[in-house]
């Protein structure tokens, strides 16, 4: 064995035959493989249909008898703080080795497939030797998800040919759940949404605004009433109209979605911070850049709010409760909240 431990990082949405090829190679040259399951703690979406526990079951089932040589851990995203993500990987690898009883001088490497720009993270850990596994001709996870939610019979046959048999059985079971039905509706909505722009002379970039209103240790949130992300918690916000500034758009959306009665001059006087959030994958609707505004108030009785426009509900949530609900937040809104609270 060249290594005591190899680190394998991925989202595995779902775990397919290409992943299995990498894993088998890793097991052939390392005593154990530390598998970090990315995008942990995200709500179900057409991009992230399965939580970390479900993906762990997929991986263990596909590994068969070798599953006992796997050390699996969930890995959360840090969309706007790459250093924090790298540090989290390093800490989790060290913790996994320590829990396993491994030595501080253990031979550690990183395994993966350097296929395109999305594989940049493989070069973020120079302390670990990189084992670049050759390309395996299979459908990508993105293509598998598209076939899964398109619900065409030919697509289902392609899925079975490109994922390990235990994973295929899990996907068949998943198709019979209410969660799958909701994601299929969301997939159809997003496909039609993007199709409406496919004849544009160039790919569109959308501009939105979001409001982070903190009052007496609470944050103002809305429940989304429509696709995408129906039922998830979100910051009040929306698209910018042609005839308004970013701040005016934010105040308008805040008023429309929450019926917040705080006068505009008071809101403007309480503006504590603002920032652009522009991760390319932050929205499944397409390239969407949002400008978030943080309004900070001291103590006092919480103003009355009521859901309006496309918000099914508006509610003040204690900050501690909101921060514990990452799996129920829309898009990157939990990251935005963490940023303004100094936690990102």
Model confidence, pTM? 0.92
Ramachandran angles phi, psi of 283, nearest 5°: -130, 135
206-340 has which fold? Nucleoside Triphosphate Pyrophosphohydrolase (3.90.79)
Contact 77, 85 (CB under 8 A): yes
Place of tokens 């619900």: 151
Ramachandran angles phi, psi of 89, nearest 5°: -60, -45
Place of tokens 């709010």: 305
Contact 45, 39 (CB under 8 A): no
Number of C-alpha atoms within 13 angstroms, CB side, residue 317?
19
Percentage of the chain lying above the pLDDT 70 cut = 99
Q: What is the pLDDT of residue 135?
A: 65
CA–CA dist 140, 180 (Å, integer):
20
CA angle 138, 143, 148 (to 5 degrees): 115
Which DSSP letter does residue 274 get?
E
Q: What is the pLDDT of residue 269?
A: 97
Given a cut of 70, the residues of the chain with pLDDT beneath it are: 135-136
- Which element (helix H / strand E) includes 215? strand 206-215
Which CATH number, 3.40.33.10, 3.40.50.620, 3.30.565.10, 3.40.50.1100, labels domain 3-178? 3.40.50.620
Domains of the chain, by residue range, sit at 3-178, 206-340
Q: What helix, strand, coil percent values describe the chain, rounded to 5?
A: 40, 25, 35
Which DSSP letter does residue 233 get?
E
Span 215-248, pLDDT tens digits: 999 999 999 998 999 999 999 999 999 999 999 9
């Amino acid at each position: 064995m060249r290594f005591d431990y190899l680190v394998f990082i991925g989202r595995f949405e779902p775990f397919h035959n290409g992943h299995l090829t990498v894993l088998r190679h890793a097991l052939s040259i390392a005593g154990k493989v530390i598998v970090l399951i990315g995008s942990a703690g995200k709500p179900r979406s057409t991009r992230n249909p399965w939580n970390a526990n479900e993906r762990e079951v997929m991986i263990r089932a596909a590994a068969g008898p070798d599953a006992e040589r796997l050390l699996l851990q969930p890995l959360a995203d840090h969309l706007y703080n790459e250093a924090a993500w790298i540090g989290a990987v390093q800490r989790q690898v060290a913790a996994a080795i320590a829990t396993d009883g491994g030595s501080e001088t253990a031979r550690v490497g990183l395994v993966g497939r350097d296929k395109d720009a999305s594989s940049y993270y493989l070069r973020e850990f120079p302390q670990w030797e990189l084992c670049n596994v050759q390309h395996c001709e299979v459908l990508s996870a993105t293509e598998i998800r598209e076939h899964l939610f398109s619900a065409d019979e030919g697509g289902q046959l392609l899925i079975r040919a490109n994922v390990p048999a235990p994973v295929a059985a899990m996907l068949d079971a998943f198709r019979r759940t209410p969660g799958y039905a909701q994601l299929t509706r969301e997939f159809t909505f997003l496909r039609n949404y993007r199709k409406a722009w496919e004849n544009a002379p160039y790919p569109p970039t959308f501009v939105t605004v979001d409001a982070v209103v903190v009052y007496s240790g609470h944050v103002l949130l809305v429940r989304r009433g429509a696709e995408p992300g129906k039922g998830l918690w979100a910051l009040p916000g929306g698209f910018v109209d042609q005839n308004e500034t970013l701040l005016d758009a934010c105040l308008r959306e805040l008023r429309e979605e929450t019926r917040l009665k705080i006068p505009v001059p008071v809101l403007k006087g309480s503006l504590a911070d603002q920032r652009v959030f522009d991760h390319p994958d932050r929205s499944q609707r397409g390239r969407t850049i949002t400008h978030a505004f943080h309004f900070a108030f001291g103590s006092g009785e919480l103003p009355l709010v009521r859901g309006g426009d496309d918000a099914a509900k508006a509610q003040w949530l204690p900050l501690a409760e909101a921060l514990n609900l990452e799996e129920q937040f829309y898009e990157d809104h939990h990251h935005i909240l963490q940023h303004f609270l100094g936690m990102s």
